[in-house]
């Protein structure tokens, strides 16, 4: 330690707010070094040179891996499910994978809706209509139907359309929430977003269902 006191710079939330508000623009660019310099982040580092590279805390690395690869995300979810099932078998507890996955990216999605789609001074009930409308946008993009259409077609089923989804569908749904949040910040109309989300849903579902490694996990 050489008698020197190590000080950790606090995270700069003001700079983070500026970055967050500009991240939806088409010309937005941010390098790892700029992120560290502006915010004082300590969970990720970047070094140049022969032995340099970008290194991050495992939580950040996992999240980044899930963002760029739905296959990696599904592998991680399956392993989590296996470990959770084993733990709960020993402890005799119950848990619900669907509800756990439904929470993934939920805050990111609702924050984008709140910031860009909900005008000021709406009542709580009026705001709930906007959230429900965007949730149904994702339902149509992935399942081809709204929540009400599913209930009308399945009157005897318990729960809702997402409670009866496969793991693959829930993984893709989680990704669509994050993608829709980004498209909302970019100012795309709902019709434009629906087309892009549907294309992404088809691409990711095809990739997940056809991947040999993932088939062996079932």
What are the structural domain ranges in the chain?
13-56, 60-216
Q: Are 161 and 152 in contact (CB under 8 A)?
A: no
Tokens representing residue 75 in the block: 């592998």
Percentage of residues in the chain having pLDDT higher than 90: 21
Place of tokens 């669907």: 98
Give the residue carrying structure tokens 């756990």.
100
Nearest C-alpha neighbor of 138 from the set 175, 100, 166, 99: 175
pLDDT tens, position by position, 183-205: 998 889 999 999 999 999 999 99
pTM score, whole prediction: 0.60
C-alpha torsion sign, points 172, 178, 179, 180: positive
Q: Encode pLDDT of 140-152 as tens digits.
A: 999 999 999 999 9
In angstroms, the Cα distances linking 10 to 6, 16, 43, 196 are 13, 12, 12, 39
pLDDT tens digits for range 29-80: 888 888 888 888 888 888 888 878 888 888 888 888 887 788 888 888 888 8
Residue 1: band (very low, low, confident or very high) from pLDDT cuts 50, 70, 90:
very low
Q: Which helix (H) or strand (E) holds 75?
A: helix 70-91
Which pLDDT belongs to residue 213?
Answer: 53
Structure tokens at 76: 């991680």
Residue 196: the pLDDT is 95
**Degrees, nearest 5: CA angle 164-127-197:** 50
């Amino acid at each position: 330690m050489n008698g020197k006191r190590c000080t950790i710079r606090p995270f700069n939330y003001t700079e983070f707010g500026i970055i967050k508000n500009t991240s939806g623009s088409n010309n937005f660019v941010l390098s790892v070094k700029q992120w560290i310099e502006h915010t004082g982040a300590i969970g990720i580092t970047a070094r140049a040179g022969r032995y340099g590279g970008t290194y991050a805390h495992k939580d950040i690395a996992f999240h980044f891996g899930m963002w760029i690869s739905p296959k990696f995300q599904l592998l991680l979810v399956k392993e989590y499910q296996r470990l959770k099932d084993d733990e709960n078998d020993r402890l005799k507890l119950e848990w619900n994978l669907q509800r756990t996955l439904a929470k993934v990216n939920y805050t990111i999605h609702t924050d984008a809706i709140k910031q860009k789609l909900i005008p000021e001074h709406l009542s709580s009930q009026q705001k709930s209509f906007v959230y429900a409308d965007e949730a149904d946008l994702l339902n149509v993009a992935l399942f081809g139907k709204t929540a009400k259409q599913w209930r009308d077609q399945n009157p005897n089923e318990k729960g809702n359309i997402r409670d009866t989804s496969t793991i693959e569908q829930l993984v893709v749904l989680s990704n669509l929430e994050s993608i829709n949040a980004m498209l909302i910040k970019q100012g795309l109309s709902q019709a434009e977003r629906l087309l892009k989300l549907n294309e992404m849903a088809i691409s990711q579902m095809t990739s997940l269902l056809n991947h040999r490694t993932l088939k062996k996990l079932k």
